[in-house]
Amino acid sequence: MDMWFMEGSQVSNFKKILAGAVFAATATVVATAASAAVIVTSTNGPDALPLPAGQTVLLDFESGPYPLSVLSGNYSIQTGGLPNQYAAPWQDLTNFIVVPATGSPSPQSATIHVGSLISGPVHTFSFYWGSNDQFNEVRLHTAGGTTIIPGSGSGQQGLPQTNQRYNFTLSGLDTQLVGIELYSNGKAFEADDFAFKSGVPEPATWAMMIMGFGGVGSMVRSARRKQAAMFA
C-alpha cells in the first residue's frame, strides 16, 4: 500500500510524499488534526473486495443516465475499451466513467456532486483509478478549499501499479466534501466504483461530546442538590 499526506489549503497542487511508515503517517495526522488535511493511500489492482473499512459503493455507473445534480461535465459511461481513446481499469468488466467523453478534445473534466449521494461529513472515500498517468488529476472541492491530487503513473493499462484503488481520508473542513472533479488533459481519465464512509465523528469530536455530556450531568446534579437544600 502506498501512502501520502497532504495539508489542506485554498488551492494547492501537491506532490506525492512517501510517509515511510504507518507510524510516521499517524503521527502527522495527530499533529495536524485541528486543520484540514487529506491523506491518500493506494492499493494495487485488480480491484477487489473488501473495501476500506466502513465504506459503501454509492456510484458504480450501472444505473445511469445521471441527473446533473449527481454527475456533470464532459464524460461518457463505457465498458471495455476503444484503441487510442480509453481502456477499462484493469480487469474491470462493468461500466466505468471516461473523461473526456469519446472523441472530445481535452482538457476536460467531470464532477461528482457528493451532496446528492450522501448527507453529512465524508470521512473517507475511495475509487478504482484506471491507467493512472500525469495527464490526470483529482480535484477535491470542500469547505476548506480545493485540493489537487495529480496522477503520476505511466498510464499502462495492464499493470497493478497504474490501476489502483485510491483511498482518501479527510479531516477538518475537508470532511465537508462538495465535489470530486475528475480532470484529464489527455486520453483519458477512467474510474469506477466510488465508495464513501460518512457520519462518524473524529476522535477529538467524540472527546468534546463526552466532556459536554459530563458537564450537563454535573449541572443536573448541582441543580438537584440546590432544590434539596431549599426544601430541607
Q: Which residue did the predictor score with more confidence, 161 or 208? A: 161
Mean pLDDT lowest among 51-55, 190-194, 206-210: 206-210
* CA nearest neighbour of 75 among 86, 91, 62: 86
pLDDT of residue 230: 42
pLDDT of residue 147: 97
pLDDT for 202 beyond 50: no
The band of 150, judged by pLDDT with boundaries at 50, 70 and 90, is: very high
* CA nearest neighbour of 141 among 186, 98, 178, 194: 178
Answer for the pair 182, 97: CB distance below 8 angstroms, yes or no. Answer: yes
Which residue has 473499512 as its cell numbers? 53
Share of the chain above pLDDT 70, in %: 70
Enumerate the domain spans of the chain.
Answer: 2-200, 202-232
Say how many C-beta atoms besides its own lie within 10 A of residue 208's C-beta. Answer: 12
* Exposure b/e, 111-120, CB count within 10 A at least 16 = b: bbbbebbbee
Domain 2-200 is found in CATH 2.60.120: yes
Answer for the pair 194, 127: CB distance below 8 angstroms, yes or no. Answer: yes
107-125 pLDDT per residue, tens: 999 999 999 999 999 999 9
Q: Which residue did the predictor score with more confidence, 15 or 196? A: 196
Burial label for 97, CB within 10 Å (0-12, 13-18, 19+), is buried
3-11 average pLDDT score: 47
5-13 average pLDDT score: 45
pLDDT for 208 beyond 70: no
The CA distance from 146 to 154, in Å, is 25
pLDDT of residue 224: 41
Q: Which residue did the predictor score with more confidence, 228 or 29? A: 228
